[in-house]
Amino acid sequence: MTNKKKKLSIVVPTYNESGNVEYLTERIDKALNGIEHDIWFIDDSTDDTPDILERLSKNNSHVHYEHRENEKGLATAVIRGFNVADGEFLACMDADLQHPPEILRPMYAAMRSGADMCIPSRLIKGGSDGGLNLYRKFVSGTARWMGKVMLPCLRKISDPTSGLFMFRRKMLEGADLKPVGWKIMVEVLAMTDYHLIVEIPYSFHDRNSGESKLSGNATMEYIEQLFGLMKRGIRHSDVKVTRWSPEFTDKMVEKYI
């Protein structure tokens, strides 16, 4: 099954990312040349990020943003973005360029090839974690291990706890997503219905500018989220996960874009 070209909306949560949003937008636009797309920044910043977003949205018709004064939180921002964006394909990406925007093009090819969801992976052939230090490797390995023990739907997926993914909007119909904590993709994997997931390799990078917002609270919120999902999550019986090699990914980009 293949799909016609569909509009892609990229949701980017931002908290004090003034040094990143302009460069990110340039790179997304370049990566998606020829593909109908827009970018939705959902912003809770206290620095001048909203001023930059205002200017960007005036000069670039792909850029939209919403600045929230009285709300904060990564997961609520991403879910808000999914609700306001109108693409038939939705993607989520961090603002700090740790997720290289160029990966959006092969992700889009994966969706057009028939995937319900595309999850780039740092942990398959051709991928890299960008030289995370031992402590960060340990934290992210433990988060993956816990997720897979508690939620069977994560077991076939090599990199299920990142914030980089693309999926069909229709998967959200009727889904009971609770925006707790940071791991919004885990919520989507546990609470929506899908049949084919494609994994493609990518290289994670260092943060481009600004500071990490990851706090100690995130760990507790993740554990709370996993327990909640164990009770609420839907069962997935016939899900297929296909892994693309770097060479095959290139071929698929040529074929589908």
Residues within the interface to ligand GTP (CB under 6 A): 13-15, 17, 42-44, 72-74, 77, 94-96, 98, 163, 207, 212-214
Q: What is the DSSP track for 85-100? A: ---SEEEE--SSSSS-
214 binds, among ligand GTP, Mg ion, none (CB under 5 to 8 A by kind): ligand GTP
Residue type, 15: Y
3-class state of residue 203 by DSSP: strand
Cα–Cα distance list, 230 to 145, 149, 197 (Å): 15, 10, 21
- The residues near 6 (Cβ < 8 Å, ≥ 6 apart) are 36, 87, 88, 89, 111, 112
Return the number of the residue (20 or 113) whose C-beta is nearest ligand GTP: 20
| Of residues 210-239, those binding Mg ion (CB under 5 A) | none
- Per-position x/- string for 96-115, each x denoting binding to Mg ion as judged by CB under 5 A, each - no binding: x-x-----------------
Q: Is 34 left (phi over 0), alpha (psi -120 to 50) or beta?
A: left
Closest contact distance (angstroms) between CB of 212 and Mg ion is 6
The rounded distance, in Å, linking the Cα atoms of 116 and 110 is: 9
Residue 85 Cβ vs ligand GTP, minimum distance, rounded to whole Å: 14
* Pairing assessment for the beta strands 165-168 and 117-121 based on DSSP bridges: antiparallel
Q: Considering CB distances under 5 to 8 angstroms, the limit depending on partner class, which of ligand GTP, Mg ion, none binds residue 44?
A: ligand GTP
Residue 162 sits in the site that holds Mg ion (CB under 5 A): no
Of Mg ion, ligand GTP, none, which one sits near residue 42, judging by CB under 5 to 8 A according to partner kind? ligand GTP
The least distance separating ligand GTP from the CB of residue 237, rounded to whole angstroms, comes to 32
Burial class, 189, CB count within 10 angstroms (exposed 0-12 / middle 13-18 / buried 19+)? buried
> Closest-CB residue for ligand GTP?
212
- Confirm or reject binding of residue 43 to Mg ion (CB under 5 A): no
H-helix or E-strand spanning residue 47: none
Which of ligand GTP, Mg ion, none sits in contact with 255, Cβ below 5 to 8 A by type? none
Site for Mg ion in 58-97 (CB under 5 A): 94, 96
Please report how close the Cβ of residue 206 comes to Mg ion at its closest, in angstroms. Answer: 9
Query: With CB cut-offs between 5 and 8 Å by kind, which of ligand GTP, Mg ion, none does residue 107 bind?
Result: none
Apex CA 234: angle with CA 232 and CA 239, to 5°?
150
